[in-house]
Structure 1
């Protein structure tokens, strides 16, 4: 997999590459060290992309909305690629390899409707042990973005 990022935190880079965070005197993350390839780390990546369909601009404004949900349950060998510094932004590229397994199961997050009322819930079926990714269309909106480091909980096998 190859993903381009436009804004990342030092903690994000630690999770995705296994490289250590650098802290200031107060314990605030201020950077990271770019070290040798970490083959003993891994992470999951979830992405949502909005689907634009026929009901998006419905006259009554009641379009339900839909998203494509992408899950890569176990990405390993995260490597930072070219760093591009410009006048307006800094972008970086992350390359990695997906692996089967990872202990994702049904996942810890609400990503799909679980009934006719649209009640959000976890995946209805676990991701197979020989699967590298899952892609679904869902009416469950992505979570609100946050800029804080939040560990994943919920009964997953978190070790990679």
Structure 2
């Protein structure tokens, strides 16, 4: 497919990472949801300093354009679900449990800067040739990975006569130990067998986007387990 069209965002998955950006295995290390309105990825760029040599007569003797420095992406996620699990995983705020040990809420405490998570986004692709002529596969998606997000926090919450929308902000970091990841997100052979990334991101990279025929995970209102050799080896 040479000219894919993005229809709309479909599913988001967040995965807990440690202080070095490595995925953490566990029964409470991931969350998948589709109740969100948008995920904004705004570039954070510091403009470089121009160097100019100007003579007394006003003639410019030499000039060099400053090289901008890319700091990462500032994320803004607008979502609707008040899931304690999702909020704990992304912000590090503690979960409040009911008498039966199930999460029923969360506490708002000081901002936690040591926690982190990875964000994956699937968006549907439009086109006449998104399905394999051989009959395999279920379609195609734009897949976006931001493997290391930190300093996340909830924004202001207004509850009134209209729908309540929550906002989560955070910033990406480069490097980290995500590697090829603990999830199957792309075909690894001609048969379309799902597998992890074929190569990790570079040490100075913050995001990867590509087209995949591996379908997104199913949304859930509970924690999702993270396990496997890839995660354990990170």
The answer on whether the counterparts of 2:137 and 2:214 sit within 8 Å (CA) in structure 1 is: no
Shift of the alpha carbon at 1:153? 2.5
Structure 1 residue 63, shift from structure 2 partner: 8.4
CA positional deviation for 1:43: 0.6
Report what 1:111 is aligned to: 185
Find the counterpart in structure 2 of residue 150 from structure 1. 224
Aligned length: 156
In the other structure, the counterpart of 1:74 is 148
Alignment partner, residue 166 of structure 2: 92
Deviation at 1:6, TM superposition (A): 1.3
Q: Of 29, 41, 45, which residue of structure 1 is paired with 2:103? A: 29
Report which of the two structures shows the higher radius of gyration computed on alpha carbons.
Answer: 2
Root mean square deviation of aligned Cα: 2.5
Q: Greater relative contact order: 1 or 2 (C-alpha under 8 angstroms, separation 6 or more)?
A: 2
Over 3 Å counting, the alpha-carbon distance change for 1:29 and 1:51 in structure 2 is same
Question: What's the CA shift for 1:150?
Answer: 1.8
- Residue 53 (structure 1) aligned with residue 127 (structure 2): yes
Higher strand share: 2
